[in-house]
Chain A
């Protein structure tokens, strides 16, 4: 028996999902308004890069969402008492990855290793003690003769997995994509045909990869294990939610400040500009890490003081994560705001703003209709670049000790854990490599996707196509 649990971050994610759904619903309504909303997105999905990166991002978001469905397990009933629930909070992703989660070794082991990374004193086959690398409890445990069986087994499982992936792709392709595959792509390379053409190799690649992992991950540690023997692939997948949350929530907190204050400062000038400039200069001159450390410590104290509200470790680290997003957002808007102020300063002198004022259009509408759309490209670029910066900032802050909860699985904690081991001989590289690959793909996909969105939102570039 299980009981669903809503963490605070889950609530925020639900709200976010709900608003995205509302936007999509609005765009589905008929009329001219919907076309202006829908058009750019259709163009993004039509482009090769746009469709591929959107798919990759969707996989990331999907994993993150799966990881946001939390529950606790019911403990075995003791007669005469109400049902008891465990203190451990699991997510749907944990459930899917149960074999990975539970296959915990003793300590480090390299990717696809069958033996532990460190030598131990073992009982020799003929009695007496030997110093040797012990076999792993789970990684490759089914092999009787490692030397002889390892490669055939890996190849067989991998091959079967990829075959299954290929099959899945083909099925999906036949079900959904047939109609758009058959016609000749329209001249000029644009159109829907191009998109399906672009989408399918990416989809094929993802299917093959998934097949490979599904086949191999349960019996081998594909990315090795960490210091306490946890599977690194599992850690990486779990880190995705933390990374996405920090990236997106911080941006959501930061954007209203940056947009509102930055554009208002540039447009109104005078006193308002003075006040806002004073504000962000002051904020900027306080060392950021110090401010964040102080804020996180305050939150820590508050959590201790209200321990009854946060009864599980997961809830505690969750609140700490939210607090971190909040504080990063509140301190992180200054750069973008300064950029937008300069741009608004330039735009307000342009004649279309003058013309709007000559019509007596209200300041609010001028800000919203004339200035905001003309700075969106800056916002988009900055936000996406900041996104990768934020994921990294989390790693740095974990290093100082004020990042996310040390018990929370995140890229920052993974990197932090791997940091010291880089000095070992032979090097423990897989933890860092896994975090790097996952973050790299995420950030690259986000960047390319944002480029496409920016192009699509710019009326000039959409006409070029």
Chain B
């Protein structure tokens, strides 16, 4: 038996008297020379599965049942010393965060040599030569051997980490979200590198990802995980041609695309059952559009719906069909509900206009901290947004888009240029006038976890802006909080609770409500969905679209996610190194880009097939 096979793997965590089962009866196999994608949203148990394979489960978690064999050798039966040989040798793993997975005080060569000494008994010059060969294999220069991690970019670090993992000549490589922290263009490079290495070396590759498009590009077979179970297991072509499990179908349906502009995105109601819930029937039953009585009583088995295509669903059972079998009839294709366009009346007024804005940071050196140079984070940017319009600002990390947002809000003082909000230049404002102007422009941040003060209740968070900017008495403010919570779809008792009691998506709703509290005309959205799962992303995007239609808000939507841009934005500005390189209507820019950088971005986006 070649490759890695996992049979009936279950993991248990004993926490506070409760027994959690984050991984329940998971089976799949990776052939030699095959790439398998383990696909699922956050919290579905895919990383725990990988750690269980490596026998690196955290304290408190243990493998309750199951067998894992690598080339026929049962890994769970090995003594720890022998497992140490396997780990990093025949079975290697690369992690998500290239920042933290390399030791910052060791050079690249030292870290690769560690692996070489441990698994191949190479030392001295032989090790150095081999390390050099490995670096070249992952597309780095040989002279990077002497570099420290901080001297490398994110992509280079991930390459160095891959080189380190290749040092043991693994038979199977596990890659846990290897590109999530990277930019699109770098992601494309790393994925291409992984694919090439896998083919050249005949490795098995287990790619853990939440991105349907990445899985489509990379995998030969795909396992879809939901609430600790594999719900669908099929070859890539079969899965992407026709998903058999309602959950997988939903995952496809919630993806924003250019073609879905103006539609309300399909959404996945409810939440994943917690890992300690005892579900009698199907775990997806509460959220399933095709649910029927049997789903709640009997847990579905893993049926082979088509040759080699398995799904954990009663509907996939060959002889059963749902009593009212019309739900998946292609003839009655659901007409997607549309979100009404923003009222046309306000369309002419320009809410934001930015002219030649620049933010330069001084670079200081020496004992006296003299300014020797300037770092031009934003270097002469001009843009304009009308009421009810969305302008997407696209660019990779470090291109200056967040700095631009902060400069527009005057959280940073621009070096030169002019920002006008609702026709009034805010550069010269100060004191009371500036404070009043702040009510007209607000921001929603990327990370829903750090954007809410953990020590303040939701009510206090929402009230803060009103107290600072609006002339409202306390009862009026409280009434408005209730109204806001209702608008963003949160329960009314949320006001008395703390942020940590809410999920990422709900927190993002709070952040949106907080910004709306002061009745702004312009909302800057700084990657508001990039930390969220796709199903939650769809809800947030729907909410944003509805709010825009209702209030005629102008959005400056900062993102690196091109499908979202296509779905939401009317106009797109592409930013690179502090300048806007191309700007235009979304349809034309995304289909017929003129600038080569825009083309590169579009080509790098995953999901276009190999």
Listed in ascending order, the chain A residues whose CB lies under 8 Å from chain B are 350-352, 354-362, 365, 369-370, 373-374, 459-460, 463-464
Contacts and interface: CB of A to CB of B under 8 A. Distances in A.
Interface string B442-469: 1101110011111110000100110011
B448 to A, nearest CB: 9
Nearest to A35: B496
Contacts of B455: 373-374, 459
A350 B441 CA distance: 19
A358 B450 contact: no
B50 to A, nearest CB: 27
A155 B468 CA distance: 71
Given A351-B447, A352-B450, A358 B438 contact: yes
A356 B411 CA distance: 10
Interface string B513-526: 01100100000000
A362 B456 CA distance: 17
A84 B511 CA distance: 73
B443 A354 contact: yes
A359 B442 CA distance: 8
Contacts of B443: 354-355, 358
A357 B412 CA distance: 11
- The winner among B453, B468, B501 for most chain A CB atoms within 10 A is B453
A358 B442 contact: yes
B498 interface: yes
Contacts of A459: 454-455, 498, 500
A460 B500 contact: yes
Given A351-B450, A361-B468, 13 more contacts: A352-B450, A352-B461, A354-B406, A354-B445, A354-B451, A355-B445, A358-B411, A358-B438, A359-B442, A359-B464, A361-B465, A370-B456, A373-B453
6 tightest A-B CB contacts, nearest first = A351-B451, A373-B455, A459-B498, A351-B445, A359-B465, A360-B435
B442 A352 contact: no
A316 to B, nearest CB: 46
B585 interface: no
A359 B447 contact: no
A81 B426 CA distance: 82
Nearest to B432: A360
Contacts of B515: 355
B434 interface: yes
Contacts of A356: 464
Contacts of A359: 438, 442, 464-465, 468-469, 518
Contacts, number: 70
A231 to B, nearest CB: 49
B70 interface: no
A358 B16 CA distance: 41
B99 to A, nearest CB: 16
B215 to A, nearest CB: 31
A42 to B, nearest CB: 16
B437 to A, nearest CB: 9
B342 interface: no
Contacts of B406: 354
B184 interface: no
Nearest to A463: B501
B550 to A, nearest CB: 22
A460 B454 contact: yes
A352 B510 CA distance: 12
B409 interface: yes
A459 B456 CA distance: 9
Nearest to B500: A460
Contact of B453 (A352, A357, A460, A463): A352
A49 B295 CA distance: 48
A141 B136 CA distance: 93
Contacts of B514: 355
A389 B115 CA distance: 46
A362 B431 CA distance: 10
- The winner among A350, A358, A360 for most chain B CB atoms within 10 A is A358
Nearest to A377: B455
- The winner among A350, A357, A360 for most chain B CB atoms within 10 A is A360
A426 B461 CA distance: 67
Interface string B98-122: 0000000000000000000000000
A463 B499 CA distance: 11
Contacts of A464: 16
Contact of A463 (B434, B447, B451, B500): B500
A350 B450 contact: yes
A351 B409 CA distance: 14
B454 A354 contact: no
Given A354-B411, A355-B445, A460-B500, A360 B468 contact: yes
Interface in B292-328: none
B383 to A, nearest CB: 19
Given A354-B443, A355-B445, A358-B443, A463 B498 contact: yes
B411 A357 contact: yes
Interface string B355-374: 00000000000000000000
A374 B498 CA distance: 14
Contacts of A354: 406, 411, 443, 445, 451
